[in-house]
């Protein structure tokens, strides 16, 4: 199966009543060691301002992005932070992804945000979603997930509560036509 790195997963109705209900996940890594992704549409109770204050980074002014919600990136290691951002920048611990997108896990980026010197677009996630080798492929085959290519507008410019429906819409699917029942011809 082709790697799903730099793609989105869209939760199907079979995942309703689970942690992943109506989630959209950006896939950071997908290789022989497994798959790692970040949920991009499940708000955490923390805002960016509260997160920065937690780390004693007091913003110099009331920047508009400070009210932005932190996302719950997944049920694994929820104390660990991941920042998806565009453009790449020069941060201590960044991983370059496709299309000038990066993921940073170092606090120098948080410090820069407090001074309004961070990247143009960013999304902060706490925790991640992970699958062992072959597990995600099985879940896709069982109709738990749909996949779509990366879309910067979906990641950064679409309202959090609309991301799932917008992601489905890129496939021409309307949520009311989805069913949890899988069928075979």
In tens, the pLDDT along 13-65 reads 889 999 999 999 999 999 999 999 999 999 999 999 999 999 999 998 889 99
Q: What pLDDT band is residue 185 in, cutting at 50, 70 and 90?
A: very low
Map out the domains of the chain as residue ranges: 7-177
Of 36 and 182, the one with more pLDDT: 36
Average pLDDT of the residues in 149-167 = 96
What was the pLDDT predicted at 52? 95
Average pLDDT of the residues in 94-120 = 92
Q: Read off the pTM.
A: 0.93
Superfamily classification of domain 7-177: VC0467-like (3.40.1740.10)
Over the chain, what HEC string results? CCCCCCEEEEECHHHCCCCCCCCEEEEEEEECCEEEEEECCCEEEEEHHHHHHHCCCCCCCCCHHHHCEEEECCCEEEEEEEEEEECCCCCCCEEECCCCCEEECCCHHHHHHHCCCCCCEEEEEEEEEEECCCHHHHHHHCCCEEEEECCHHHHHHCCHHHHHHHHHHCCCCCHHHCCCCCCCC
């Amino acid at each position: 199966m082709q790697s799903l790195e730099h793609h989105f997963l869209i939760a199907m109705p079979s995942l309703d009543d689970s942690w992943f209900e109506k989630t959209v996940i950006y896939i950071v890594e997908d290789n022989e060691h497994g798959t790692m992704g970040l949920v991009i549409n499940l708000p955490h109770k923390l805002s960016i301002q509260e997160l920065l204050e937690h780390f004693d980074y007091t913003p110099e002014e009331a920047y508009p992005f400070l009210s932005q919600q932190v996302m719950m990136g997944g049920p694994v290691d929820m104390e660990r932070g991941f920042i998806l951002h565009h453009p790449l920048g020069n941060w201590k611990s960044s991983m370059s992804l496709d299309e000038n997108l990066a993921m940073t896990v170092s606090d120098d980026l948080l410090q820069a945000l407090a001074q309004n010197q961070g990247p143009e677009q960013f999304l902060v996630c706490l925790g991640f979603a992970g699958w062992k080798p072959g597990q995600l492929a099985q879940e896709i085959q069982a109709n738990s997930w749909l996949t779509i290519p990366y879309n910067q507008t979906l990641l950064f410019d679409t309202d959090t509560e609309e991301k799932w429906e917008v992601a489905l819409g890129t496939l021409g699917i309307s949520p009311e036509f989805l069913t949890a029942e899988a069928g075979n011809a």
